[in-house]
Structure 1
Amino acid sequence: MKVALLGAGHIGQTIAQLLHTSGDFALTVFDRDQAALDRLAQKGIRTVCIDTSSAAELTSALDGHLAVVNALPYHLATSAAQAALRARCHYFDLTEDVAATKEIKRLAQDAETAFMPQCGLAPGFIGIVAHHLASGFEALHDVKMRVGALPAFPTNALKYNLTWSVDGLINEYCHPCEAIHDGQVISALPLEGLEHFSLDGVEYEAFNTSGGLGTLCETWDGKLRNLDYKTVRYPGHRALMQFLLDELQLKSDQGTLKTVLRRSMPATMQDVVLVFVTVSGTKNGVLVQEVFARKIFAERDGQYPLSAIQITTAAGICAALDLFREKKLPQRGFIRQEQVALTDFLANRFGRAYQQYRQVESIG
């Protein structure tokens, strides 16, 4: 299967390595960063340097490929999908941006190829899990989805280190959040809805952020009472981010905020990804609740150490592409994450990365 990968950044490097070593994908990686491409070329991966912000160069790059995997920053998702449509390539991406996803859905309406955005962790795997749990209920009441990519050893006041894109982080903190409340689809404010909980003996907070629900609001509209997604952090993080974004008004000067975070907040490869989903409803006429709770850890051994966010995000999109190749997903039009069977995902050679976890037995 001839595949074009757009983006050789933090996540793109891992995607490239997984697809290349699988032996089933003829891969070419495209990026504007020659140094990042050189690191992949040293591993025997074919690379081409292009201007990824140019629609013409993107379309030309995709010519002759069967599928494109987009690991570029979220603001380039729409242009990459448009290039895929022009080149008649199947399209997969990681975007959490709600506006981009809606535009990609529109592009897919009459397309002869498949368009599957949001193939990462959240949106992505979290939606697959939630839909799987929900499918066992006669009647759904409440679905709560919580995800956090956290430093294993927080040391600063924010109790956070950069584990992925700063652009993506600020985007989800600043845009309205879809949810279902009392049976109605609503738009909630980011950073609101603060809650505290303990998991596996550790205290956490969670609050609204944008994009994590994927297309579930549309899929479950009119079918349940409450649905929401919140990002998990260590206690105190949300208050400081609200101070920066609202009181210092950096929400309207995101360039400055991103510069400050990149300069002052170290990146870390020692992280942990927390996935926590609760679903309540009726089974056999009885009100019950089911919980899915896992922690996925970084891989520090081996020649190429991987952070937990690299593992989970790259595994998500590689598994989606692989399941598509195996014809376990629709072959044209818009594909939702909830159309992926959790059993198929976890049995997949890439999806099995989610099995290197510690399942949490006790919920506090």
Structure 2
Amino acid sequence: MKEIVVVGAGRIGATIADMLSRSGDYAVTVIDRSQEALAALDTGPEVKTARCEVAEPGALEAVLNGKFAVLSAAPYSLTIRIAEAAAAAKVHYFDLTEDVKSTRRVKEIAAKAETAFIPQCGLAPGFIAIAAMSLAKRFDTLEDVKMKVGALPQFPTNVLNYALTWSPEGVINEYCEPCEAIVDGKLSEIAPLEDIEEFTLDGVRYEAFNTSGGLGSTPQVLAGKVKNLNYRTIRYPGHARIMKLLLNDLNLKDRRDLALDIFRHALSTTRQDMVVILVEVTGTKNGKPAFERFARTILSGYVGNRERSAIQITTAAGISTVLDMLAMGQLPQKGFVQQEDIDLDTFLANRFGRAYAQDQAMTKVA
């Protein structure tokens, strides 16, 4: 049994811990700076907890000593600290961050590490890159790679048509930071909350717009191979216009602490959510124009006997699958591993990756 440390006792950390511990192959300890959060952790009794001040020099390294891997479900501000501790303790490292700057630093740390460093293992970045590369590899030449993901309430109740299903800090960050893209063959930075498009999937109308962080390392992997590459977040129509008013026109992008307070005060949380995934690729095959699409709509469900939201399930399944693939020797055991190198079919066949399978009813995982 491999010993795993999960950093962060929030909803995502709890789902990861429960998913892994229920498999019987992983002994999981969840750590957090808050004893209150640890006491409220919604997992089975087999999951251990320990208070740890991650930012304190040497504290995390002591916890990681002798462990197999550390999985970060902590705020992106702690990403670099956790990666440095993983390298010092010589354990494998995984995270869920959307933050581009942090991931660049993780890659630098990985270059000198003795273990594997696999950042951005969630939904987007994460699974979306695996799905996109699976389609892109089937083309002789690439024109457009369009990636869209959204975590949405099944039953919206406010003018934003939104509920908190994910870290509010992460949402505000992706709405404010510059977005990577490839435009007319050139690596570019484009503005968030722009390029709004509307589309229909399975009879439901959505909008999608630029947000930061979802592409992961895909722009670097496909640079020089694709004309246009972009990532957009999916919401119900009208959401982007209101967020532009709040963040841009009222300038709350420069008062993110205030924006965070507003989100937490005004928006409810929900477990009755859904995750929408859409990848569309155009190019040529055998000299002829070609188009391929990968689409999923995943509903909330259960991990064991605990009800979990769709974003909890898909995010936890993403990082758990990549960990499981590493443990089974299906991924490199040292250095930086990018999501684009992970095989989609192997991922979907994994016991945790089946959460993304087309025929998965999402009533029970692990």
TM range (shorter): over 0.9
Q: Equivalent pairs: percent with the same residue?
A: 52
SS in 1 for 2:77: helix
Query: Is contact 2:276-2:296 (8 Å) kept?
Result: yes
Query: Is contact 1:122-1:212 (8 Å) kept?
Result: yes
State the Cα deviation string for residues 37-59 of structure 1 (Å, max 9, x = none): 23357622111111123242112
* 1-structure distance, mates of 2:311, 2:144: 27
Partner of 1:219: 221
Q: How far does residue 356 in structure 1 lie from its aligned partner after superposition?
A: 6.2
Partner of 1:75: 77
Which residue of 123, 126, 137 corresponds with 1:124? 126
Query: Is contact 1:142-1:226 (8 Å) kept?
Result: yes
Residues 298 and 40 of structure 1: CA distance in aligned 2, closer, same or farther (over 3 Å): closer
- Matched letter for residue 4 of structure 1: V
The correspondence of residues 1-364 of structure 1 with structure 2, limited to 5 A, is 1-38=2-39, 39=41, 43-299=45-301, 303-355=305-357
* 2-structure distance, mates of 1:36, 1:305: 19
State the Cα deviation string for residues 145-194 of structure 1 (Å, max 9, x = none): 00000000111010000001001000101100000011100000111111
Query: Is contact 2:303-2:313 (8 Å) kept?
Result: no
* 1-structure distance, mates of 2:75, 2:303: 29
RMSD between superposed Cα atoms in Å: 1.5
Q: How far does residue 75 in structure 1 lie from its aligned partner after superposition?
A: 1.0
Query: Number of residues paired by the alignment?
Result: 359
TM-score, normalisation: structure 2? 0.95
TM-score, normalisation: structure 1? 0.96
* 1-structure distance, mates of 2:66, 2:148: 40
State the Cα deviation string for residues 186-245 of structure 1 (Å, max 9, x = none): 000111111111111111111000011110111011011100000000010000000000
- Matched letter for residue 289 of structure 1: F
* 2-structure distance, mates of 1:318, 1:225: 33
* 1-structure distance, mates of 2:153, 2:42: 26
Q: How far does residue 264 in structure 1 lie from its aligned partner after superposition?
A: 1.1
Q: How far does residue 345 in structure 1 lie from its aligned partner after superposition?
A: 0.4
SS in 1 for 2:18: helix
After TM superposition, the runs of 4+ consecutive aligned structure 1 residues lying more than 6 A away are none
* 1-structure distance, mates of 2:62, 2:112: 22
State the Cα deviation string for residues 318-337 of structure 1 (Å, max 9, x = none): 00000000111111000000
SS in 1 for 2:209: strand
Uncovered stretches (5+) of structure 2, i.e. residues with no partner: 362-366
* 1-structure distance, mates of 2:223, 2:268: 41
Uncovered stretches (5+) of structure 1, i.e. residues with no partner: 360-364
